[in-house]
Each structure stands twice: as C-alpha cells, then as structure tokens.
Structure 1
Amino acid sequence: MQRQRYIYIMLSMTGTKFSRFLQLCTGKEYTHVSIAMDRQLGELYSFGRRSMNLPFIAGLVRENPKGGVFAKYHTRCLIYEVPVSEEEYHAIRGLLRNFFRDYERYHYNFVGLPFIALGIPTECRYHFVCSQFVAYLLDKSGAVQWDKDFSLVQPADFTRLENKRQIYQGFLSDYALSA
C-alpha cells in the first residue's frame, strides 16, 4: 500500500508596494504563492525577493515564514494541504534540488508579468514568477494537470485545485507560532 504524502500551498499578501500593485492590477486578495514540503513551512520555496531592501533583486528563494518580508509586513495567508502520491512528492523534491543546483541562474520574470495578464504563454528557461514556479513543479511532477499553460497560472488559480484542504487562513505570524 502506498503512503499518502502532502504538500502545502501558501497564498499570501505581504503588503509591500509591489504586492499592492499586483493586487490593484488583479483585484485578487492574494498576490504571492509558495510551496512547502512540510506542514510547519520549514521547507518553503518560491520566486521572490532575495534582498529585504532591494525588491528587484529577485529570483529563486527559500522563504522564512517567521522572518524577512513575511514578518516585516504582517503577512496575511491562506494555506492548503494537497495530497500527492509518493512518486509525485519525490518528483517535486527532485525538481527543487535541480533548481537549487543552479540557484544563481534563476531570476524573477518581471518581463513575463504583462504576458500573464494578456494570456500569452511564454517560457523563459531561467525566469519565473512565483505562480509559474509552483505551477511548473506541480505540472512536471504529475501532481496537477492545469487547464492552461503553467506560464499563465496566477496565485488565484491555486484556489481551484482539486483535492485541496484549507488548513489555515489568517496572519502568517499566528500560523508560524502554532505550527
């Protein structure tokens, strides 16, 4: 019998100028998405700021739910638990290892943002926005089959995942303290 595994999808709104701009453009409550391999969010990954004070220095990041931008801006979040097979779980881990093996090559896809808004699929090998990155991991692992190209997935699309279970909504600092 195969063991049931879970991944965790966290949608968030930090309140930074960039996130408020994205919220204004999309009209959505959450503007950022991350993927965690554990319920405590100790392994939390996305594409975002690499520097607290320089928002355009951005790319592949391992995020700290108890610090950095999340703590500074008193982040609101929504966390889903998503069941995946053992093979899908290990495929996501393998993809993450490959991404971090070439960490310095990956950058935030600022140029791709208008293409997402216009519904034009694009693929820049070493450039992702947060939602493209998480969608790519789920797609390539076989965990989720999107109804559109992964490059067009936005944070709000994760609210429509099948088999997800909401485990938390509120301030991230409150979840981090209770987890």
Structure 2
Amino acid sequence: MNKPSHSIYLICSKTGTWLSTLIGLCSHLQYAHASISFDESFERLYSFGRTEPDNPFCGGFVIENLYEGVYTKSQDCRCLIYRIPVTALQYEALSNRIERFILEKDTYSYNMLGLFGILFNTPIKRKSHYFCSQFVAEILIESGIFSSSKVTQLITTDDLLTLDTKEFVFEGPINRSNITQAQKGIQAS
C-alpha cells in the first residue's frame, strides 16, 4: 500500500457574505464554504463560489486567495483548516482533476438550486453546476481520498469534516497574522 507522501488542505470558512449567512442559518452549519489547497500558502484555493467578489449573482469555478476577495469583505470571516496526508497517486489524480476544471472553467456554473436540494434532502444534479462542498467532495472521492454514503449533491462542509485522515491546523479569524502562525505550525511538524 502507498504511504502518504504529500499533503493537501481542506479549508472550511464562514465568509460573512449574505449567502454564507443564509446557508448557516438554514443548515446550522458553522462553516458554509469549502475549498481545497495544495500548499500552505493558501493563495490558491479551489472551489465554487463568487467569480466576482462584489457580485453575489455571478458564480462558478473559482481560484480563491485567503487574503483577497470575499475573505476580506467581513471582519467576522473565520476558517477551519485541516491538512490531509495523501499518496503520490492521490495527489496526482487530484491535481489532474483540478487542472481539468481550470482549463474548462468557463463551462461551469454555481449550483444555487443544489443548495435547496440539501435543505429538502433531495439531490439536484445539474450538468456542469456545483456548489462548494459538492465540488470538493466529488474531486476527493474521484481521487480516492474521501468516501461517503451520500451522493455529492447532498454533501455539506460538516460531511467533509468526517474525513478520518485529517489533521487539525487552524481555526479562527482570517487575517495574515493568524494564518502565518498556522503556516509556522505546519512547517514545524
């Protein structure tokens, strides 16, 4: 069996946007948004969300930066970061899948209807449409990193946090000082 030789990062956040707040109120999720990163700089997070930080109605595949965009819109912005050890094969599979999303990003849209599906426990599958936790779950499942008895259209950030191999890195307000401390902890381990 292959031993973990790489790490990826699961970032769950509460951005303070109206959609994040609404999702939290309706679902009782502490963290409404999920992203994946390949390194501890957290300057390239992959997810589905606002394609234009100031326009909540434009959504799709996004490459986020923990220090920019929606993460700077609210002083109450918080995150939870986990490191996930993965094998070289899992890392390569995940990297290849992300690369395909990057190359085809204009073909994807945000799955707003899918959020209602979660509320009513009814999966709403739409071609080329994702919401953040659906996207993260799908690419982790396809890469052999995560498994769930749920279909991806019903997976929430809380479901992603059931991943057994995760290692706690940080929880708290998003600011450069806090994240720098978290990075020092990662580098020391």
Q: TM-score by structure 1 length?
A: 0.94
**Structure 1 residue aligned with 2:179:** 176
Equivalenced residue count is 179
**Counterpart among 79, 85, 103 of residue 77 in structure 1:** 79
Using the alignment, how far apart are the partners of 2:128 and 2:66 within structure 1? 25
Within 5 Å, give how 1:13-162 maps onto structure 2: 13-74=14-75, 75-162=77-164
Identity %: 35
Tell me the SS of whatever aligns to 2:40. Answer: coil
CA RMSD of aligned residues (A): 1.4
1:156 positional shift: 1.2
Moved over 6 A (4+): none
The amino acid that maps onto 1:60 is F
Residues 31-51 of structure 1 show CA distances to partners (whole Å, capped at 9, x for unaligned) of: 100001112213211100011
CA distance in 2, matches of 1:33, 1:2: 26
Contact 1:78–1:169 (CA under 8 A) maintained in structure 2: yes
- Listed as ranges, the gaps of 5+ residues in structure 1 are none
Gaps of 5+ in 2: 184-189
Deviation at 1:171, TM superposition (A): 1.3
Q: Deviations over 1:60-80 (max 9, x none)?
A: 000011111101213100000
Residue pair 2:4, 2:86 contacting (<8 A) in 1 also = no
CA separation of 1:3 and 1:11: change in aligned 2, threshold 3 A: closer
Deviations 1:137-178 (A, max 9, x none): 101111111121112110111221111111000112133344
| Equivalent position SS for 2:57 | coil
Superposed CA offset, 1:16-38 (max 9, x none): 11111111101121110000111
Per-residue CA deviation, residues 91-132 of structure 1 (Å, 9 max, x unaligned), is 011001111111111110011111122222332221000000
Cα distance in 2 for partners of 1:35, 1:77 equals: 13
Contact 1:60-1:108 at 8 Å conserved across structures: yes
Aligned partners of 1:66 and 1:176 also within 8 Å: no
